[in-house]
């Protein structure tokens, strides 16, 4: 790996090298057209950049002649030091995929880091499995059952506001579940393993179901008009459509009082879920502050 030569490159070319590395590491592949489209360059220039990356880090990239795609090398070792939160932003929102640099705007914007960031090698294994729509073998630390080896079929990343999860079909339990990224170890992408029809995202009822929620200012606060203004409410209501699989996380993050009688006290509870029955059948609803299920047998899944 020729890191000295990397330092001698101009900023624009270093950005393209960083983008190539991001695609290889977290998607597992890159095509000339990906590079050309992202930076507005000709495919011939993209070919030269890919050739340069191979010169700089020959173990990181291989060419698959059958698909005419550049793929991650078996002895991949990143040249760039990517902060975890920046990679997650790139994966979630698709921007800022050049070389890691500080803001060039001159405007201070301080965003607190999460307490737990996933290991990038672990994250890369999960995102490559998502990209290739294939299973991944992992070691997982569960609160209830300790460490176990599992095969999961991940299809999405989920930011709960406190930590990052991957939504996946778990072959051990035969269910769709959320797996905390920081509890995953030693992911091995199983590119040649088939995915069953029942393991695909469209079979995940909690993921495909959309719940319609209406949030209103908490009835016990003295100045509801401030809440109306802060949240841009129309006609006194903030309407949200959420995946059932994410609803409990969102309501907890926003400290929404989900008790049927708005009984939670405290300055953090500025919002109230007007109809708690809207959460009926949502598996993670018991994560929502104050929620009480009308179904006595409903319980939150604590396997993770």
Domain layout of the chain by residue ranges:
3-81, 120-196, 209-287
Residue stretches of the chain with pLDDT short of 70: 3, 94-115, 295-304
- Residue 187 phi, psi dihedral angles, 5° rounding: -70, 135
Q: What is the CA radius of gyration of the chain?
A: 23
Pairing of strands 271-273, 256-257: parallel
CA distance 175 to 31: 35
Class of 3-81 in CATH:
mainly alpha
Locate 130 and state its tokens: 């998502």
CA distance 118 to 182: 5
Q: What is residue 100's predicted lDDT score, i.e. its pLDDT?
A: 60
CA distance 259 to 272: 8
Q: What is residue 28's predicted lDDT score, i.e. its pLDDT?
A: 94
CA distance 275 to 288: 13
Q: What is residue 34's predicted lDDT score, i.e. its pLDDT?
A: 93
CA distance 20 to 123: 17
This prediction has a pTM of 0.82
Locate 287 and state its tokens: 């994560």
Picking from 168, 101, 96, the residue whose alpha carbon sits closest to that of residue 134 is: 168
Q: What is residue 183's predicted lDDT score, i.e. its pLDDT?
A: 96
Locate 30 and state its tokens: 């890159």
Q: What is residue 122's predicted lDDT score, i.e. its pLDDT?
A: 95
State whether CATH 1.10.260 applies to domain 120-196: no
237 DSSP assignment: B
Q: How many CA atoms lie within 13 A of 169 on its CB side?
A: 19
């Amino acid at each position: 790996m020729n890191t000295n030569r990397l330092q001698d490159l101009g900023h624009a070319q270093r950005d393209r090298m960083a983008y190539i590395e991001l695609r290889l590491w977290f998607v597992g592949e890159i095509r000339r057209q990906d590079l050309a489209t992202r930076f507005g360059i000709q495919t011939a220039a993209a070919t030269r950049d890919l050739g340069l990356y191979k010169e700089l880090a020959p173990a990181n990239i291989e060419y698959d002649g059958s698909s005419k795609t550049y793929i991650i090398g078996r002895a991949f070792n990143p040249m760039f030091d990517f902060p975890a939160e920046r990679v997650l932003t790139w994966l979630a929102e698709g921007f800022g995929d050049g070389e890691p640099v500080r803001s060039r705007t001159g405007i201070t914007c301080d965003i607190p880091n999460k307490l737990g960031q996933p290991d990038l090698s672990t994250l890369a294994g999960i995102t490559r499995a998502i990209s290739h729509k294939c299973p991944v073998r992992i070691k997982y630390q569960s609160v209830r059952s300790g460490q176990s080896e599992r095969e999961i079929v991940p299809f999405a990343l989920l930011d709960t506001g406190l930590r990052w999860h991957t939504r996946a079909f778990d072959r051990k339990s035969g269910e769709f579940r959320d797996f905390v990224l920081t509890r995953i170890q030693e992911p091995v992408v199983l590119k040649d393993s088939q995915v069953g029809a029942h393991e695909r995202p469209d079979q995940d009822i909690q993921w495909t179901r959309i719940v319609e929620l209406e949030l209103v200012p908490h009835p016990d606060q003295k100045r509801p008009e401030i809440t109306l203004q802060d949240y841009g409410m129309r006609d006194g209501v903030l309407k949200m459509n959420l995946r059932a699989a994410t609803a409990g996380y969102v309501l907890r993050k926003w400290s929404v009082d989900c008790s049927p009688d708005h009984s939670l006290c405290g300055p953090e509870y500025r919002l109230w879920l007007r109809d708690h029955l809207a959460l009926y059948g949502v598996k993670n609803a018991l994560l929502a502050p104050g929620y009480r299920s009308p179904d006595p047998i409903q319980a939150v899944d604590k396997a993770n």
